[in-house]
Structures are given as structure tokens and as C-alpha cells.
Structure 1
Amino acid sequence: MNKQVSKACNGLDLEEMGQTVRALKNDPTLAQFQFRARNRWIDGGENRSTIKDFYGVGAEDTSRSDAFIFTNGEPPVLLGRNEGANPVEFLLHALAGCVTTTTVLHAAARGIKLHKLSTELTGNIDLQGLLALDDSVPVGYESIRIKMDIEADCSDEDLAELIAFAQLHSPVCNTVCRPVPVTIERVVAHRATSEAHAA
């Protein structure tokens, strides 16, 4: 009698995972993705981001019928009205989510079954940098700590290796830990004058 092999691990379909990896190995251009976010200022420290479309696997994705909407705000002590989490808190959210997803993905690829995974993040920031009160103070986070509570069907050594691997291969963690070029380009609106219309 043949032993039935599970086709899923940690909620991920191993057959689909294998197909995806093989497809990317055969055609590396399919690995090129472009994610997008659009943001509009509302009032004061409140602004709203909309995320829907992206490019990946050689085509524009059309699987999302509705956009995801995220409101950025500030607490009263930072002149806001708690309209939403502030951007540096969203960065912690993105980092936590990416490290978690990366850990789950690579655990499944290694055949490691996870029983529990939770993280607690703390980021230390000195607002003297943001407010240009002291040029020696970094503008962003000075440090970020991730405490991970994880239980899995593997040895402590294998678990430590998995966590270290996930830290190195988490796209958000990697982005935060290395210099990434960011450019801000002003969009100049060209408004037709009445003379131009008359012409």
C-alpha cells in the first residue's frame, strides 16, 4: 500500500509551488514584477493609498475586482486625529507580513510544518530627524526589532537556519536593510488657456 503524500504544507499547494518555480527557472523574465500604489492627500496628516493593479508573470494582472484602500493618519500628539495608522507603522506592518510570508513559504519548500508563528515589532525613531532639528539624527527608524514566536516540526538548528534564510530573502526586509534608490518626480499639469482653445 503506497503512503499518501500530502500535497499541501502550511496552507500552500506544493504542486503549484513546484510549477511556479519550474516556470521561473525556464523563463526568468516571468519573475519580473511591478507593484503599484496611488496616494491622495485628504487633509492635515491624512492621506489615502489605493492598491489594485500590478504587472507580473509577463502580463498585467486582472484578478482583483476591487482595490485595497489604506488610510494613513497620525495620532493627536503628531497633529492628527487617529484617521489610521501612520506611515512608519505601516512600514512595520509590511515588514511583519513579508517576513511571515517568506518564512511560511520557505518552510513549506523545506517540508517543515509550522504550528505557530507570530511576530511583535518595535521601531525606534527620533523625530528630531524628521523636523530637521538635529542633522546628526537619522530621519527614519534608528532600529527595528522583530520578536518571532514560532513552533515547527523540525530541530532547533533547522528552525534557526530557516529564520536566518527568511530574513535574507524577505523582499521588504531586504529593501529596508539596504540602500534602495527612490526618486520623487513632480508631475506638471499643462492647462490649456482660453487663447489656446480659441486658436
Structure 2
Amino acid sequence: METTQRTVNGFKPEDITATINALKEDPALAKFQWRARNKWISGGHNRSRIQDFYGGGKEDASRTEPFVVDNAEPPILLGNNEGPNPVEFILHGLAGCMTTTMVLHAAAHGISIDSVETSLTGDWDAQGFLGLDENVRNGYQQVNVNFKIEGDLTEEQKEQLISFAKKSPVYDIVTHGVPVKVGLQEAEAVI
């Protein structure tokens, strides 16, 4: 006889519980180090390779191939559209992380969601980046995130889902300054 495990929003509640219990038992398992390696191609075009990371108390080997992501600039910013630009990737990362965080926490609370769509806008003024006006910030002046959430949900539940989304790690990164250390890597010797 085949048994089907129940899922909520694509997650198995028992997997969520097991993960939470494992982290409560050994908080060191919650420590992760994410990695990306980037190489400049030409002009505003560069490419990142994302594969290995540390998590769950060990180096992860689940990714046999790297994710390869190009980013570039549109022609108005002197590029050739080889990929989205880095500030657009921030919107992508924010949308993805807030959405995943929302549906995971909803599943952990037994709240079923039919669909979530997110639209984001980021207001940016190139004068800061180009050093034309020192009073203009280099990054976004404002980011707007709007969710369209469907399901058999009350308005209170939808507000609870928004509060879940704000638990997103990328939301935290974007809304609170994160220390970033910048340095030089020694060049490898050519043999």
C-alpha cells in the first residue's frame, strides 16, 4: 500500500519539524557560508560561478555543476545586455528570498497558499554611482515590494504572510547594513 506524504506549499511539514529540531539540538548546524566567484569578461560584462558552500556542519557536495550567471549593463549604461545588471539581481534575490521565506513559514504554520506573485521596483539615480552628485546615494533610493497572494485566506492571514516574508535573509541584508570587507587576493603563481 502506497502512502502519500502531505505537503503544504511544496514542503513536507515533518521535514520542517525535523530541520528545526536538529538546529535546536545543535545550533552549529545553522552556520552557513555561501560563496560566489566572479570574473570580468569585457566592459560591464562579468560572470559568476556559484557551486560550493558550507552548511549543516560540513562542506556541501550536492551541486555537481556550478550555476553560471552573467551580469552586464543595458546600452544606456554602456553595456550590451549580456545579462541583467547587478542591481536587478538584487531585486531578483529579494523577491526569491521573501517569497520562499513566506511560503516556508506559512507551511510551518499550516497555512496553505495557492499562488504568490511579486512585483518589485527599485528607484536608482546614476549620479551617485558616477560621482556626479555626492548627495545622491550610490545604490537604490527606495525599493517597493508588492505581493499578490491567492488562496482561501483572510486579510489577517495575508498580513501574517507579509510578516513572514520580512523574516527573509535577503530582506534583512537589504534593510540593515551588513559589514563588507574588501581586500586583495594574492595572484596565483604561473608555472
Q: Give the TM interval when normalised to the shorter protein.
A: over 0.9
Kept after mapping to 2: 8 A contact 1:152/1:159: no
Larger of the two Rg values belongs to structure: 1
1:16 and 2:15 matched: yes
Kept after mapping to 2: 8 A contact 1:10/1:113: yes
**Aligned pairs, how many?**
189
Q: Which runs of 5+ in 2 are unaligned?
A: none
The aligned counterpart of 2:148 is 149
Separation in structure 1 between the aligned mates of residue 4 and residue 67 of structure 2, nearest angstrom:
37
Kept after mapping to 2: 8 A contact 1:47/1:73: yes
Q: Evaluate the alpha carbon distance shift between residue 76 and residue 154 of structure 1 in structure 2; reply closer, same or farther with a 3 A threshold.
A: same
Separation in structure 1 between the aligned mates of residue 65 and residue 189 of structure 2, nearest angstrom:
31
Separation in structure 2 between the aligned mates of residue 162 and residue 151 of structure 1, nearest angstrom:
11
Map 1:1-150 to 2 at 5 A: 7-150=6-149
Separation in structure 1 between the aligned mates of residue 189 and residue 89 of structure 2, nearest angstrom:
36
Q: Evaluate the alpha carbon distance shift between residue 107 and residue 5 of structure 1 in structure 2; reply closer, same or farther with a 3 A threshold.
A: farther
Q: Which runs of 5+ in 1 are unaligned?
A: none
Deviation at 1:29, TM superposition (A): 0.6
The aligned counterpart of 2:173 is 175
| Secondary structure at the counterpart of residue 24 of structure 1 | helix
Q: Provide the alpha-carbon RMSD of the alignment.
A: 1.8
Deviation at 1:6, TM superposition (A): 6.1
Identity in percent: 51
Give per-residue Cα distances to partners, 1:98-118, cap 9 Å, x unaligned. 001001101101111101100
Give per-residue Cα distances to partners, 1:117-172, cap 9 Å, x unaligned. 000110000000000111110110000001110013332112202212321x1000
Kept after mapping to 2: 8 A contact 1:119/1:146: yes
Give per-residue Cα distances to partners, 1:13-55, cap 9 Å, x unaligned. 1111110000001110100001000000000000000000000
Separation in structure 2 between the aligned mates of residue 17 and residue 6 of structure 1, nearest angstrom:
13
Instruction: Give the partner amino acid of 2:178.
Output: V
Instruction: Give the partner amino acid of 2:184.
Output: R
Instruction: Give the partner amino acid of 1:37.
Output: A
| Secondary structure at the counterpart of residue 9 of structure 1 | coil
Kept after mapping to 2: 8 A contact 1:7/1:15: no
Q: 2:184 aligns with which of 180, 183, 186?
A: 186
Separation in structure 2 between the aligned mates of residue 84 and residue 190 of structure 1, nearest angstrom:
29
> Which protein, 1 or 2, shows the higher relative CO under an 8 Å CA cutoff with sep ≥ 6?
2
Deviation at 1:190, TM superposition (A): 6.6
Deviation at 1:187, TM superposition (A): 1.6
| Secondary structure at the counterpart of residue 39 of structure 1 | strand
